[in-house]
Chains A and B, each alone.
Chain A
Amino acid sequence: MSVNYYLYLSALLFTIGAVGVLVRRNAIVVFMCIELMLNAVNLSLVTFARINGNLDGQIIAFFVMVVAAAEVVIGLAIIMSIFRARRSASVDDANLLKY
C-alpha cells in the first residue's frame, strides 16, 4: 500500500465532518463534527511528517491538539450559556442576530 491512502482517508474524514457541520442541528453534534475535521487534518499532518522525513508535522499536530482542547472548553461553555438563556441546544434557535 502507498502512504497516499492515509491522505485519502484524511480527506474523506474531513469531508464527512464538513457535511456534518452543514447538516446537523444540535450544536453539540456540530461541534463533534468540527473535532472530526481537526482529527482528519492531524492524520494528514502526521503523514506529511513521514513523507518529508522530519518531525515538524508531528509537532504541529500536537499543537493542533492543544488548541482543540482549549477550543472545546470555550465552545462548550458558550453552548452551555446559550442553553441556559434559550433552553435549547439547537443552532436554529440561536437567531437573535438574524434581522
Chain B
Amino acid sequence: MTGLEVLAAHGATTTHEAVVFWFLAPVAVAGALGLVLVRSAVHAAVLLAVVMLSLAAFYTTEAAPFLAVVQVVVYTGAVLMLFLFVLMLVGVDSTDSLVETLRGQRLAAVALGLGFAVLLVAAIAGAISGFHPKGVGGAEAGKGNVVAIAELLFSRYVFAFEATSALLITAGLGAMVLTHREPTTPRLTQKERMLERVARGGSGMAPLPGPGVYADHDAVDTPALLPDGSIAPTSVPEYLQVSAARPHVEDVERELEGP
C-alpha cells in the first residue's frame, strides 16, 4: 500500500489526489465526448479505453486497488477487446450515417442531456455538502483492500456471488446458441466443386493465368498479356482490381491501345 492510498483510506483528499483528479478528469470527459462524436466505431472503442483507464486511476486514488486492477483486466482487457473483435466481424468501415431519421432528434437528445446533467449535479450538490468522508480504512481494519473485500464477498455476499456464477454460465451458453448457425445447404467438397467447374466448361477449365506473364514486369498488380497481345482479365486477383491496382490495369490497356 502506497502512502497515497493510506491517506485516501482515511477519507481525506490529498494534494496528490487533486493533481491526479484535475489531470485525468478532463481526459475522461474528453474521451467520453469523443466517443459520442467520432464517426468511426474503432476510434470510439479506443476513446472508451481512455475513459476506462482513467477511471482505473481514480479507483486507485479512492483506495480501491482491487477494483482498479479488475477495471483494467476485465473492462479494458476483455470487454473492449470483445468489442473490437465484433467490429472486425461486422466490418470496421461501418461508420454512422449522418442522416437524421427522426427530425430534430439530436437537438432534443442534447437538450435532454444538458437538463439531466444540471438536475444530477444540483441533486448531488444539494444532498451531500459539508460532511467529511470516513474512508474505507476503518472497514478494512488493517487487513488490506483485497482481503477485506474477499471476507465480505464470501460471507455476506456469498449468495450473490454464486448467482453471478450461474449468470456467467448462462451468458456463455447464450452466446454460443445465438451465434451458432446450422448449415442450410450441404457443404460442397473439393471433388464436387471440381465436377461443377468441368460441367461449366469454357475457359474456366484451365488454371487462371498468373499475373505479369509476358507483361513488362511481373508484379501481382500487372495483368498478363495473352498471345494476341490483349489483357487477360482474370490474371489480376479481383481484390486487387477493386483497390489500388485497378488504375494500373487501365494503364496497361491504354499503353496497348496507344500505338
Determine if B35 and A54 form an interchain contact, defined as CB atoms under 8 angstroms apart. Answer: no
At the interface, is chain A mostly helix, strand, loop or mixed? helix
Contacts of A58 in B (CB 8 A): 64, 66-67, 136, 145, 149
Determine if A53 and B41 form an interchain contact, defined as CB atoms under 8 angstroms apart. Answer: no
| Shortest distance from the beta carbon of B136 to any chain A beta carbon, whole Å | 6
Determine if B117 and A15 form an interchain contact, defined as CB atoms under 8 angstroms apart. Answer: yes
Determine if B172 and A36 form an interchain contact, defined as CB atoms under 8 angstroms apart. Answer: no
Known: A36-B48, A53-B139. A6 touches B149 (CB 8 A): no
Q: Find residues 18-43 in chain B having any chain A CB closer than 8 Å to their own CB.
A: 18, 21-22, 25, 28-29, 32-33, 35-36, 41
**Interface residue B135 (Cβ < 8 Å from any Cβ of A):** yes
Determine if A19 and B94 form an interchain contact, defined as CB atoms under 8 angstroms apart. Answer: no
Known: A11-B121, A29-B44, A58-B149. A53 touches B167 (CB 8 A): no
Nearest CB in chain A to that of B97: its residue:
A25
Determine if B33 and A16 form an interchain contact, defined as CB atoms under 8 angstroms apart. Answer: yes
Proximity string of chain A (1-41) to chain B, C-beta cutoff 8 Å, 1 when within and 0 when not: 11111111101111111111011111011011101100100
| Shortest distance from the beta carbon of B252 to any chain A beta carbon, whole Å | 35
| Shortest distance from the beta carbon of B83 to any chain A beta carbon, whole Å | 6
Determine if B11 and A4 form an interchain contact, defined as CB atoms under 8 angstroms apart. Answer: no
Q: From the candidates A3, A42, A59, A66, name the one contacting B149 in the complex (CB within 8 A).
A: A59
Among B8, B33, B129: residue with most chain A CB under 10 A = B33
Proximity string of chain A (69-82) to chain B, C-beta cutoff 8 Å, 1 when within and 0 when not: 11111101111110
| Shortest distance from the beta carbon of A33 to any chain B beta carbon, whole Å | 7
Binds A, one of B74-82, B205-213, B225-233: B74-82
Determine if A43 and B55 form an interchain contact, defined as CB atoms under 8 angstroms apart. Answer: yes
Known: A1-B13, A12-B29, A24-B36. A55 touches B149 (CB 8 A): yes
| Shortest distance from the beta carbon of A13 to any chain B beta carbon, whole Å | 5
Determine if B116 and A50 form an interchain contact, defined as CB atoms under 8 angstroms apart. Answer: no
Contacts of B110 in A (CB 8 A): 19, 23
| Shortest distance from the beta carbon of A86 to any chain B beta carbon, whole Å | 11
**Interface residue B219 (Cβ < 8 Å from any Cβ of A):** no
**Interface residue A67 (Cβ < 8 Å from any Cβ of B):** yes
| Shortest distance from the beta carbon of A84 to any chain B beta carbon, whole Å | 7
**Interface residue B242 (Cβ < 8 Å from any Cβ of A):** no
Determine if A77 and B28 form an interchain contact, defined as CB atoms under 8 angstroms apart. Answer: no
Contacts of B128 in A (CB 8 A): 4, 7, 51
**Interface residue B109 (Cβ < 8 Å from any Cβ of A):** yes
Known: A3-B133, A39-B75, A65-B70. A29 touches B41 (CB 8 A): yes
Contacts of B18 in A (CB 8 A): 1
Known: A1-B18, A78-B178, A80-B178. A59 touches B157 (CB 8 A): yes
Q: Provide 9 A-B residue pairs closer than 8 Å at the C-beta atoms, listed in order of the A residue.
A: A1-B21, A13-B28, A22-B113, A47-B62, A62-B66, A63-B160, A70-B164, A70-B171, A76-B86
User: Which A residues are within 8 Å of any B CB, using their own CB?
Assistant: 1-9, 11-20, 22-26, 28-29, 31-33, 35-36, 39, 42-43, 46-47, 49-56, 58-59, 61-63, 65-74, 76-81, 83-84, 89-90, 92
